[in-house]
Structure 1
């Protein structure tokens, strides 16, 4: 029998705005999460890079230790925060799993809006190698707007260098933040040759957040990965990406009928090797022995389509714990 659950039922309140979890057969007494367990909000849940009319790009909010921490910051993140009653000035830190645009596209807006609203300086940004270069480029793109300001002669200018402080992380790094320990592993979303310059320059990261009350692991984009299974061992909650590759490839071919076959095969190889199928998700959760599973970065058929239940069946063949395919703005 399939088990579907979220870690919250009913409504929570954040900054005066109600948060409603999408639940299926959730335990009736699961009405709150202890403060020291934190809260995880799936702000954006669609796999990139194609924009969706119903789901925002990949982004999550971890509320822990009195801080608001973004985990990936896809396009639309600022607007999703606003739905919770949170201003961009209230973000304390950002963790970025890797440098693909669907996971970073909202960072420019986050920084720009903070500059315009005189937010507290030095947003802490944690990410893989290359994050400093990316942030420096975003800040450089803001120079014309910051120089013009509001067009008022003599008005003080924003020091863009004070907007962010970047910390680059690599495999097996650790961070202490907001009363929790964050552990990092390099996953299999990239498959550069181990001794190549690109392998030395770039990593795609998964994060484990060990809070006083529970542990949450976020894969980011990854293929099957023993390193991620090791990172997630015994975690209370695994937040994991998943794609219906067959459906995605068929859609790509349908929308691009003149695509050269070599290009189509390359895309398919990337999707199959560097992302997780439903059966991969179940195997990862089972091998790691996690307490519950939340699927995000989702590319596939939505609820109401019979094939949606096939994903859950494929996961359940490997993993017998509670699982849900998240929607935007769910709370766990």
Structure 2
């Protein structure tokens, strides 16, 4: 048996592809890997795309998603649907550009946006904001753009929603990014979802934003690829303290609660991947530390304490 030192193993895992010698037919592309809402100079806001041949399916749509699609060589007419894990603006800020630019360039097929409760209200607001430009068109009398409401439709999902879409099965599970009391009015109105995509050749689970969750673990069982969010709590707090040095104590306590219960630490990621028995892991949604090689190696070491499979820290425009 060949034994590899943990630091060397971490380096290998951070650069090894999530597939074998050739990429799969269905590819997952991390368009934006920054955990919002603080902008980054090196990473775009949370957005991903599932490529199936020429068809593209956006999975979350943070600010800059259109530009990231262009960098990936994907045209807006290729986008068949959008899936939103939850409605925080770092995951939805690019949707207005997707809808508006499709309207402006007369992309005809109706785009379906799948998301949690509240997605209809979100899209209705974007559609309303598009109306003045659509009526004016390019300023040529009698040639406005199509009515924005006619270009998009919404399907809201809940816990255990299961859909068959273009030859793939999409399953949603309510996760723990919010901790409203089960059955409360807030719990009914606001949900954060993790999503599983079962394709003819492989299965992919996208956690979205979540804390440790038995439901997400069940959703992830046996997946070929787990695309997981991850947070460096101390690194994030360092950034926040630098940006907001006089944050009130109550606000700091609320932030710590959010970071430690509504997100996954490296240890949590390793535990989830090991218990679910996934074949490989891609890490995304960084709030701090991802571009620091020493910290990144530490994340991988922590994950490897419980999960022995291949792990890759994703960058913008990586393919899996």
Q: If the length of structure 2 is used for normalisation, what is the TM-score? A: 0.94
Structure 2 CA distance for aligned equivalents of residues 92 and 257 of structure 1: 44
Tell me, yes or no, if the aligned pair for 1:208 and 1:231 is still in contact at 8 Å.
yes
Specify the alignment match of 1:186 in structure 2.
174
Specify the alignment match of 2:159 in structure 1.
171
> Which blocks of at least 5 consecutive residues in structure 2 are unaligned?
1-5
Specify the alignment match of 2:251 in structure 1.
263
Match of 2:62 among 69, 74, 91: 74
Tell me, yes or no, if the aligned pair for 2:104 and 2:145 is still in contact at 8 Å.
no
Give 1:3 shift: 5.5
Match of 1:108 among 96, 116, 141: 96
Structure 2 CA distance for aligned equivalents of residues 47 and 182 of structure 1: 24
* Partner deviation per Cα, 1:105-149 (whole Å, 9 max, x = no partner): 000000000001000231011100100010000000111221222
Structure 2 CA distance for aligned equivalents of residues 34 and 254 of structure 1: 42
> Which blocks of at least 5 consecutive residues in structure 1 are unaligned?
7-22
Are residues 132 and 330 of structure 1, via their aligned partners in 2, closer, same or farther at CA, if it must alter by over 3 Å?
A: same
Aligned residues: 313
Specify the alignment match of 2:3 in structure 1.
none
Give 1:151 shift: 1.6
Structure 1 CA distance for aligned equivalents of residues 28 and 272 of structure 2: 20
Structure 2 CA distance for aligned equivalents of residues 112 and 206 of structure 1: 27
Tell me, yes or no, if the aligned pair for 1:88 and 1:110 is still in contact at 8 Å.
yes
Structure 2 CA distance for aligned equivalents of residues 303 and 273 of structure 1: 24
Specify the alignment match of 1:121 in structure 2.
109
Specify the alignment match of 2:234 in structure 1.
246
Tell me, yes or no, if the aligned pair for 1:57 and 1:102 is still in contact at 8 Å.
yes
Structure 2 CA distance for aligned equivalents of residues 296 and 5 of structure 1: 18
Structure 1 CA distance for aligned equivalents of residues 145 and 61 of structure 2: 26
Structure 2 CA distance for aligned equivalents of residues 223 and 99 of structure 1: 16
Specify the alignment match of 2:261 in structure 1.
273
More helix by share: 2
Give 1:66 shift: 4.7
Q: Determine helix, strand or coil for the equivalent of 1:254.
A: helix
Match of 1:306 among 294, 297, 301: 294
Are residues 157 and 180 of structure 1, via their aligned partners in 2, closer, same or farther at CA, if it must alter by over 3 Å?
A: closer
Which deviates further from its counterpart, 237-246 or 61-70?
61-70
Structure 2 CA distance for aligned equivalents of residues 160 and 266 of structure 1: 39
Tell me, yes or no, if the aligned pair for 1:128 and 1:202 is still in contact at 8 Å.
yes
Structure 2 CA distance for aligned equivalents of residues 199 and 34 of structure 1: 38
Structure 1 CA distance for aligned equivalents of residues 292 and 117 of structure 2: 41
Structure 2 CA distance for aligned equivalents of residues 216 and 70 of structure 1: 14
